[in-house]
Structure 1
Amino acid sequence: KRMGCGPLHAACCSVRRRRRRRRRHAPPPKLHPPHLILSSSSAAPNTSLCRLLSAAADPIPSNPSSFAVEEYLVGTCGLTRPQALKASKKLSHLKSPANPDAVLAFLSGLGLSGTDAAAVVAKDPLFLCAKVDKTLVPVVAGLAGLGLSPPEIARLVSVAHYCFRTRPIVSKMRYYLPLFGSFDNFLRALQRSSCLLSSDLGKVIKPNVVFLRECGLSDCDIVKPSVPVSRMLTTNPERVRAMVACAERLGVPRGSGMFRQALQAVAFLNEDKIAAKVDYLKNTFRWSAAEVVIALSKAPMLLRISKDMLQRKSKFLLSEVGLEPMYIAHRPIITCLSLEGRVRPRYYVLKFLKENGLVDRELGFYTAVSTPEKYFVDKYICPHKKAAPHLAEDYATACKGEMPTNFLFR
């Protein structure tokens, strides 16, 4: 009986052994780069997605007991030893490099260099735990559907980090792109305020945008790279309303041309700090309560100038130039201009011209310091090349902060 079954049994075993050997030596499945999804025909997007999902679904078998997270982060991901030591604490649960390998292949397919991928992992170690098929592929497909190119998606990964591995990023980008006007504008804002992608779109971002529009600000004003205003998008809406009320108390109504500057001036300053700066302005420029209101309504950015700089400007304007406090209050732009690079050099040019009878002595100080540079040179310096051949040289030197002792005829 054993003799009759022996040859058949041996043949079956031989077939099974050959099949096992073929499976062991078969090349690992290729991970198709994500950009194939974006470049494939829109007529069959599911086919490309399925190819990527199928490739990512069969990770290379590994020996869990031999996987050392820290060494993997250094040797495979390219992190420095200190970075790897810090990141490994968040990845101690990993028993296999299979998923991290798939994520790195995915990032490479997007066009990220090894250095860029290492930066992503260093900032967000848990990115290596993201599911390529269930999370990253759908996110890339969704962003591509919004019109983002593969290089733009790669740049977004490098800045967004952990927010990129969450599905809501697609709906947020759908809202932000029209608001900011372009992907580049949004990316610049994201680099300044990473909270743009982590903040709640429905409860924080949209209510703030609607309210700021009601205050007369255009979308361009709202998303301008001026940090205080753009940061308001991610701030608690009640606090934003308090900032607007504070700006109005400066005497700048909503919808006025100066309102955005007023809002920028008071943004993220509490009432005590604003009150203290107002008192300082009164004492430093010898202004009455009414005069400080006039000054702030015309130049609210006075609240952002340091006390040391305000002290230096008031000393120069009041003591050296001899201006009256009321004159400055009605022309507060003088206090916002550069003292060393503009106001002081122009004052000495004007003084030199008047003392030497080259201009009308009634020529106003405010006109001289507030006029554009080209106009100032054309009107106050060029006409006097023969009478004062070195005046232009002295003025240029003074504007660099190297004030000559005097402007003299030579």
Structure 2
Amino acid sequence: MLRLRERIVSHLLSSSSTSAPAISPLHRLLSAAAAAAPVSPNPSSFAVEEYLVDTCGLTRPQALKASKKLSHLKSPAKPDAVLAFLSGLGLSGADAAAVVAKDPLFLCAKVDKTLAPVVAGLTGLGLSRPDIARFVSLAGSRFRYTSVVSKMHYYLPLFGSLDSILRALRRSSYLLSSDLDKVINPNVVFLRECGLADCDIAKLCVCEPRLLGYKPERVRAMVACAERLGVRRGSGMFRVALQAVAFLSEEKIAAKVDHLKKAFSWSDAEVVAALSMAPMLLKRSKDTLWHRFEFLVSEVGLEPGYIAHRPVMLYYSLEGRLKPRYYALKFLKENGLLDHDWNFYTAVTRSEKYFMKKCICPHQEAAPNLAEDYAAACRGEMPSNFRFT
């Protein structure tokens, strides 16, 4: 791999010093790929697995797996050209190895007829070479199809930035593998009709990138399910509700709802109230929710109905948020250090910066160890000089 890169760099440097200014960067990229692709003097002796290890940088297990898809190769000419092309885009050896390990057939792509036109198309959309290098690392096999350009042309204004698209692609490649006209666009149009702005659709896809790639009738069923939770279309919570019910069957949702009713002693109306304000409760584990609920009831002294109408409290970490703030608030009240009546809900829902500013920092003289003890409590420790009782 090192020798190949030395040839590439040497060629690029000589090309940039002797070429006329009219020669495009893409042309130089193609020239570099061609110049760095030697033909094996003895094609029949080409060992694919060794090439993948020695030249591409794959591990032996990766190479063994990848070589099964490349057994037809008789020469390193085409793989060398592809590696040179990736190097010209700015991919490191490790990045190129990751691309090949993920999609071994990438080494068989035609530089002039496939890869170069894709790069030219993406450049036309305003992507820089570093942008394209980041994109190819995540796009994998979809980069070998010129249709990826039209999809990126569609996604860039929808998502608002390449970074948002890449965040979605890190989770799933559905955005690039699904049919744009028959699946993606109908789903986007429908979600817009449901009151979601493009920025909301983008946020939804970053969290659940598979959603746009599902059949439109399935997406419509998800919307109907979100509405049955008591979240109306167009409301600020509708996107979150869609994220909560995505890919959950009606049976699983019904089981979750039934569990909330029985475990928390909530009525039907209280369950609807809770899920309409905090639909992501459907994604939390039963044990996690129960431990938080039990603490709020038995230790803090809150009523189940009170929690149902302030369900966001169940989102917060028991050890990292609920307990430390409760004990800090209790300490302050018992020692007369609060100048107004802070309730627990107010204390637990404020940002850490705000809580520190209002409840911890003002009492440094009266309680010099409070900040240190609170920090220890947030780490799950029990400071000996923090008065919990």
* TM-score tier after normalising by the smaller chain length: 0.7 to 0.9
**CA 62–337 in structure 1, closer or farther in 2 if over 3 Å, else same:** same
1:376 to partner: Cα distance = 2.9
Match for 2:46 among 39, 56, 67?
A: 67
Structure 1 gaps, min length 5: 1-29
Report what 1:175 is aligned to. 154
Match for 1:82 among 41, 44, 61?
A: 61
When structure 1 is superposed on structure 2, of 116-125 and 369-378 the one drifting more is: 369-378
In 2, are the aligned partners of 1:285 and 1:325 still within 8 Å (CA)?
yes
Structure 1 residue 365 corresponds to structure 2 residue 344: yes
Structure 1 residue 190 corresponds to structure 2 residue 169: yes
Deviations 1:83-142 (A, max 9, x none): 222222112222233322322232233233333322222221212221222222222222
Report what 2:245 is aligned to. 266
Separation of aligned partners in 1, 2:383 and 2:354:
23
1:287 to partner: Cα distance = 0.8
Report what 1:350 is aligned to. 329
When structure 1 is superposed on structure 2, of 238-247 and 366-375 the one drifting more is: 366-375
Query: Equivalent residue of 1:243, what SS?
Result: helix
Report what 2:81 is aligned to. 102
- How many residues matched? 377
Report what 2:277 is aligned to. 298
When structure 1 is superposed on structure 2, of 167-176 and 187-196 the one drifting more is: 187-196
In 2, are the aligned partners of 1:53 and 1:133 still within 8 Å (CA)?
no
Separation of aligned partners in 2, 1:358 and 1:99:
74
**CA 316–131 in structure 1, closer or farther in 2 if over 3 Å, else same:** same
Amino acid at match of 1:368: A
Q: What's the Cα RMSD here?
A: 3.4
Separation of aligned partners in 2, 1:50 and 1:190:
26
In 1, are the aligned partners of 2:40 and 2:46 still within 8 Å (CA)?
no
Report what 1:136 is aligned to. 115
Amino acid at match of 2:259: Y
Match for 1:155 among 131, 134, 143?
A: 134
Report what 2:144 is aligned to. 165
Structure 1 residue 237 corresponds to structure 2 residue 234: no
Query: Equivalent residue of 2:209, what SS?
Result: helix
Amino acid at match of 2:163: D
Separation of aligned partners in 1, 2:29 and 2:245:
53
In 2, are the aligned partners of 1:284 and 1:310 still within 8 Å (CA)?
no
Report what 2:261 is aligned to. 282
**CA 42–393 in structure 1, closer or farther in 2 if over 3 Å, else same:** same
Query: Equivalent residue of 1:230, what SS?
Result: coil
Match for 1:328 among 307, 313, 319?
A: 307
Structure 1 residue 222 corresponds to structure 2 residue 169: no
Amino acid at match of 1:239: R
1:168 to partner: Cα distance = 0.6
Structure 2 gaps, min length 5: 1-8
1:195 to partner: Cα distance = 2.0
1:373 to partner: Cα distance = 3.0
In 2, are the aligned partners of 1:104 and 1:117 still within 8 Å (CA)?
yes
1:347 to partner: Cα distance = 1.8
Deviations 1:59-86 (A, max 9, x none): 7474332223223323333333222222
Match for 2:105 among 123, 126, 130?
A: 126
Separation of aligned partners in 2, 1:355 and 1:76:
69
Structure 1 residue 338 corresponds to structure 2 residue 338: no
**CA 382–124 in structure 1, closer or farther in 2 if over 3 Å, else same:** closer
Report what 1:26 is aligned to. none
Separation of aligned partners in 1, 2:274 and 2:207:
21
1:238 to partner: Cα distance = 1.6
**CA 192–254 in structure 1, closer or farther in 2 if over 3 Å, else same:** same
What is the percent sequence identity of the aligned residues? 72
1:247 to partner: Cα distance = 0.8
Query: Equivalent residue of 1:224, what SS?
Result: helix
Separation of aligned partners in 2, 1:334 and 1:132:
55
1:143 to partner: Cα distance = 1.8
When structure 1 is superposed on structure 2, of 260-269 and 152-161 the one drifting more is: 152-161
